[in-house]
Amino acid sequence: MTMNSTWQELYRAALIELRPEELRARIDAAEIAIQQRASKLRQNDSNPEEEARALDDALRGLRVLVSTECRPPRPTPSVLAQGEVT
């Protein structure tokens, strides 16, 4: 099996990114690369089952990462109090 390593490298980079301010950009880059690779496989009418499964798994992993690590910050009580003042 020969897989395109570009999407894999970008996926790994997103998984190990520790800086919250950089994480979303890493995830976006990985998602684009994964979608491009999947599209290329479909265009070539070449859909190695193992790589297609790996692409699907990677996209699911990125979605989990977004849902757990890219949430907007919760408002603090002082922010809530300011919002109540009109």
Confidence category of residue 2, pLDDT binned at 50, 70, 90: very low
Residue 1: band (very low, low, confident or very high) from pLDDT cuts 50, 70, 90? very low
| Contacts of 22 by beta carbon, 8 Å cutoff, 6+ apart | none
45: left (phi over 0), alpha (psi -120 to 50) or beta: left
Tell if the pTM clears 0.85, that is, is over it.
Answer: no
By CB atoms closer than 10 A (0-12, 13-18, 19+), residue 33 is buried
Tens of pLDDT along 24-42?
999 999 999 999 999 988 8
Domain ranges of the chain: 5-84
